[in-house]
Chains A and B, each alone.
Chain A
Amino acid sequence: MAVVGVQGHLIRVEAHVGRGLPALTVAGLPGTGVQDARERVRPAVESAGLEWPLRRVVVNLSPANARKEGPGFDLPIAMGVLAASAQVPSAPLASYAFSGELSLKGELVGTPGILAVAIAAAGARLKGVVVPRSNAAEAALVEGIEVIGAPTLAEVVGVLKGRWKPEAASKGEDAAAPARSADVDFAEVRGQGAARRGLEIAAAGGHNIVMVGPPGAGKTMLARRLPTILPTMARSEALEVTRLHSVAGLLSGGGLVGDRPFRAPHHSVSAAGLLGGGSAYLRPGEVSLAHNGVLFLDEVTEFRRDVLEGLRVPLEDGRVVITRAAGAVEFPARFALVAASNPCPCGFEGDPRRACRCLPGRVEAYHQRLSGPLLDRVDIHLTVPRLTRAELMGSERGEPSPAIRARVQEARERQRRRLAGTPWTCNSQVPGGVARREARLAAEAERYLADAVDRLALSGRGFDRAVKVARTIADLERSDAVEQPHVAEALGLRAPTANGEVAPVG
């Protein structure tokens, strides 16, 4: 079984034991990781108390045109050799998919991508999969397939000979219980009501968001809590996330990933690290690991420009396609983007208590880095102030995440109903022109918006964004029409203009 991208592909493993000097040859485009299997398999077989045929062994992986990567081939190669040397019955082998890395002691070690293997096996109508025990829970998430989680190679042989029965792998259901108790909650955030409200709107409409504020304002703390108010994941969404994390080898303890992921790559991340890639074994990037969750880019101005540019495609399409000479691989990557930045290089521009020490030219250059095509995909701009002690003391604890999530879920439901029959499910996905037509602006709200657009010198894009965000606010307020206060609040979340100037009145 080979995993390419998040897709499992069935690979047939044949073994032939013939005359010649003792040797093991692997044919069929094995990658470096698979070549390694030659060294591991023999000690593992011998440690399991089985015999390694002291003859020339040829293993063929077919189809021969696809490159095979990863350590998961240890177990199938071992099984092929054992069947060829008549140490295990070969009949049941064809109805099972095998995947797993072997240690020299013959133990089966946790292997990435097992969920993809199980899904492919189920798709090919195989009877079951044989995987390392630590991956059993993950494989068990797939319906209609027998999962044999074995701790060692010896046990695998035992199963095939009918001598050993694995304990039934726990079905994924328990692990899939909605959202394992999250360790963060919005109730822990004091003050910052405007930012909390902004995040609630972002969650409700699926909008991307930028937070600007001095160091210590709490931007990271706020972003970390966004996943706790996003709607709970449907099982299909959770499976997608689990599969991606499985391929990346990030699953610990197996089972379904119930919480929406929160990924915060450092600003030194490479394009391959952010978007996915790698030379031989294509790994999902941070954008895919954040699939169905939140991608948080702290200090967004420090990221390399070309890396940020690469985000445009996933932001637009919800997926990343990595094309290599050997073929193209697609990873899903639909995430909520939260970008954070200081207001200027020193961080204190606009802070009343500390003077900004930056040259004005540098502040402008900094703001320019914040603009650009990436931020065209961001609907909500928040300014997060650093609160004084008095302001912190005066504010009560925030509302707990579940209460906010309930409102978000209801707003999403309204959007789904309204957008039924369209390709979109939430306001942020709706193209500008459609949003304008379908937003159901009240007459007064429309007048107000038109007036504000003039005074704030909003661009066409800025106008569309304001309409979409106002629509989300109306959804949160359970209003069918977008009213004037919704528009006003949405305009307050607009991108700041270069000089922050409001055109003269009248």
Chain B
Amino acid sequence: MLRRPSDLRRTGSGQAARALRRGRGGEDRGDPALRWPSAFVATEDDRRALLVLMHCASLTARRLLELASVAGTARESLGAVLSGRAGTESDRAWAARVDPNEVDGRLRAAGARLVAVGEPDYPSELLDLFDPPAGLFVRGSSMAGLEPRIAVVGARNCSPTGREIAGRLAGALAGAGACVVSGAARGIDSSAHEGALAAGGRTVAVLGSGIDVAYPRKHRRLIELIEGSGAVVSEYPPGTPAEPFRFPARNRIVAALSSAVVIVEGADGSGAMITVEHALDVGRDIFAVPGAPTTALAQVPLALIRDGATLIRGPQDLLDDLGLRQTTALTAPNGAAAGSGRVGLSPSARAVWDALTAPITPDGLARSTSLPLSAVLAAALDLELRGLIVQRGGRFERRPGAECH
């Protein structure tokens, strides 16, 4: 029933499929079958060498992998960098300057540890990537205990509705025992984490900054809560600042760590698209929550659905498709649950509710219900107080999940 990425390759003609054909990392992708040597990090010396290597900015994961396949061990690789046989001048300068003992100290201070490739804790799913990181800094639990992992990602400048949907999806996943993966960014990302936390579930944040750097800064508390419930991971050594170019790289880890990716909202050009492309590269399932075609934030999900992603209308669709079952009762994030209609709804409020099949202005409501405008406005406030609808930009709309019997 699930559409596989291979379907996308065959049939897709849209944006997602084009991105897929374009491939990541340019035309020359080298040998895709390149593997980390089994003894890359075999000794304590290797581990210390890896800590240094991970500071070398121009030594990307892929370049390090290529170097490792020749050098064999981390120590040899570092030797190659120091002697100028690999890497750039600045890599050499960094490699000479970084003191692994000091880095170790900073890791300990942040409550983080390095999980190197080849170690039992290293999430093997990352090896599906074209450029798997040589090591992952981890705060919190081991990935092995956090399964199944599902990514919930989307726009940073999302709508309140998107926020609510992300929270509900994450809450449902958490309630079904799944672990919610996201990027700890603003908008959909943070709502997903919060949704999972509020449901008492587990969640993993992949940072685009150093493992001890909270970005955005006001998410510091959120990131601590995530660490307590699941884990916070990053491929960047302590102290690395958050910079825009690191977020696409971060997204590949979000995608690889997850067995499926759910896209909630995204306008054209959204970073969510990058996560999807990586997810397709490593063969993960894509789910998308649709929106009205006229809505800017629905453009990415709709394009993905057109290209073969699975449409989900709400948490139940997602759980059904993933074969998960709700085990604990759902609690929506922040206790701000969408309400449900109950006795005492006035006839005019009822009429307004029935007319609200799409976001609509008070004028439009007055027209379609044949009620005077003042009655419509009063009824709308009533519905708003009951948590059934919200007002956004001068139009009323039903809250996702609100029901009226």
What residues make up the interface of A, taking CB atoms closer than 8 Å to B?
Answer: 191-194, 197, 213-214, 217, 343, 349-361, 383-385, 387-388, 391, 394-395, 451-452, 455-456, 473, 477, 484-486, 488-489, 491-492, 500-505
B71 contacts A by Cβ under 8 Å: no
Kindly report which residue of chain B lies nearest to residue A503, judged by CB atoms: B336
* A95, chain B: closest CB distance, angstroms: 60
* B295, chain A: closest CB distance, angstroms: 5
Kindly report which residue of chain B lies nearest to residue A499, judged by CB atoms: B160
B104 contacts A by Cβ under 8 Å: no
Q: Are A502 and B336 in contact (CB under 8 A)?
A: yes
Kindly report which residue of chain A lies nearest to residue B265, judged by CB atoms: A355
| Residues B353-405 near A (CB distance < 8 A) | 359, 361-364, 366-367, 373-375, 377-382, 384-387, 390-395
Residues of B within 8 A of A505 (CB): 337, 339, 385-387
Our pick among A352, A489, A502, A504 for the contact of B295 (Cβ within 8 Å) is: A352
Q: Are A489 and B377 in contact (CB under 8 A)?
A: yes
- Taken together as a complex, chains A and B put the C-alpha atoms of A358 and B267 apart, in Å, by 13
Q: Are A360 and B157 in contact (CB under 8 A)?
A: yes
* A115, chain B: closest CB distance, angstroms: 42
- Taken together as a complex, chains A and B put the C-alpha atoms of A505 and B187 apart, in Å, by 25
Q: Which 8 A-B pairs have the closest CB atoms?
A: A350-B393, A385-B394, A488-B378, A355-B296, A355-B267, A194-B362, A193-B363, A383-B394
B335 contacts A by Cβ under 8 Å: yes
Kindly report which residue of chain B lies nearest to residue A388, judged by CB atoms: B294
Known: A197-B374, A354-B296, A385-B395. A500 touches B390 (CB 8 A): yes
Our pick among B337, B380, B393 for the contact of A383 (Cβ within 8 Å) is: B393
Q: Are B377 and A502 in contact (CB under 8 A)?
A: no
Contact with A along B276-317 (1 / 0, CB 8 A): 000000000000000010111100000000000000000000
Main secondary structure of the interface of A (DSSP, over half): loop
Q: Are B395 and A492 in contact (CB under 8 A)?
A: no
- Taken together as a complex, chains A and B put the C-alpha atoms of A395 and B292 apart, in Å, by 22
Kindly report which residue of chain A lies nearest to residue B299, judged by CB atoms: A355
* B340, chain A: closest CB distance, angstroms: 8
B48 contacts A by Cβ under 8 Å: no
Residues of A within 8 A of B391 (CB): 383, 492, 500
Q: Are B381 and A353 in contact (CB under 8 A)?
A: no
What residues make up the interface of B, taking CB atoms closer than 8 Å to A?
Answer: 155-157, 159-160, 186-187, 216, 267, 292, 294-297, 334-337, 339, 359, 361-364, 366-367, 373-375, 377-382, 384-387, 390-395
* A478, chain B: closest CB distance, angstroms: 13
* B273, chain A: closest CB distance, angstroms: 14
Q: Are B339 and A356 in contact (CB under 8 A)?
A: no
Looking at A194, A360, A361, A473, which has the most chain B CB atoms within 10 Å of its CB? A194
Excluding A395-B363, A484-B378, A489-B378, 10 further A-B contacts by CB distance (< 8 Å) are: A197-B377, A352-B292, A353-B294, A360-B187, A456-B385, A473-B374, A488-B382, A492-B377, A492-B380, A505-B385
Residues of B within 8 A of A354 (CB): 296
Known: A350-B393, A394-B367, A501-B336. A355 touches B361 (CB 8 A): no
Kindly report which residue of chain A lies nearest to residue B332, judged by CB atoms: A504
Residues of A within 8 A of B337 (CB): 504-505
Q: Are B296 and A385 in contact (CB under 8 A)?
A: no
- Taken together as a complex, chains A and B put the C-alpha atoms of A491 and B336 apart, in Å, by 20
Looking at B296, B366, B380, B385, which has the most chain A CB atoms within 10 Å of its CB? B385
Q: Are A485 and B378 in contact (CB under 8 A)?
A: yes
Q: Are B156 and A360 in contact (CB under 8 A)?
A: yes
Residues of B within 8 A of A484 (CB): 378
Residues of A within 8 A of B159 (CB): 350
The 16 sampled A-B contact pairs (Cβ below 8 Å) are A193-B362, A197-B373, A350-B393, A351-B393, A352-B294, A353-B294, A354-B296, A356-B157, A361-B216, A385-B393, A388-B294, A492-B384, A502-B384, A504-B336, A505-B339, A505-B386
- Taken together as a complex, chains A and B put the C-alpha atoms of A193 and B375 apart, in Å, by 13
Q: Are B374 and A489 in contact (CB under 8 A)?
A: yes
Residues of A within 8 A of B374 (CB): 197, 473, 477, 485, 489
Residues of A within 8 A of B336 (CB): 501-504
Known: A214-B393, A488-B377. A504 touches B361 (CB 8 A): no
Kindly report which residue of chain B lies nearest to residue A360, judged by CB atoms: B186
- Taken together as a complex, chains A and B put the C-alpha atoms of A351 and B387 apart, in Å, by 21
- Taken together as a complex, chains A and B put the C-alpha atoms of A492 and B396 apart, in Å, by 11
Q: Are B378 and A355 in contact (CB under 8 A)?
A: no
- Taken together as a complex, chains A and B put the C-alpha atoms of A486 and B336 apart, in Å, by 27
* B351, chain A: closest CB distance, angstroms: 14
Residues of B within 8 A of A502 (CB): 336, 384-385, 387, 390
- Taken together as a complex, chains A and B put the C-alpha atoms of A502 and B164 apart, in Å, by 13
Kindly report which residue of chain A lies nearest to residue B394, judged by CB atoms: A385
Q: Are B386 and A504 in contact (CB under 8 A)?
A: no
Residues of A within 8 A of B155 (CB): 355
Q: Are A349 and B394 in contact (CB under 8 A)?
A: no
* B151, chain A: closest CB distance, angstroms: 21
Q: Are A504 and B363 in contact (CB under 8 A)?
A: no
* A12, chain B: closest CB distance, angstroms: 61
Kindly report which residue of chain B lies nearest to residue A358, judged by CB atoms: B157
- Taken together as a complex, chains A and B put the C-alpha atoms of A387 and B364 apart, in Å, by 11
* A194, chain B: closest CB distance, angstroms: 4
- Taken together as a complex, chains A and B put the C-alpha atoms of A356 and B358 apart, in Å, by 20
Known: A197-B374, A489-B381, A502-B336. A355 touches B390 (CB 8 A): no
- Taken together as a complex, chains A and B put the C-alpha atoms of A394 and B379 apart, in Å, by 22
Residues of B within 8 A of A194 (CB): 361-363, 373, 377, 394
* B278, chain A: closest CB distance, angstroms: 23
Q: Are B381 and A387 in contact (CB under 8 A)?
A: no
* A40, chain B: closest CB distance, angstroms: 57
Residues of B within 8 A of A355 (CB): 155, 157, 267, 296-297
Q: Are A353 and B295 in contact (CB under 8 A)?
A: yes
Kindly report which residue of chain A lies nearest to residue B163, judged by CB atoms: A499
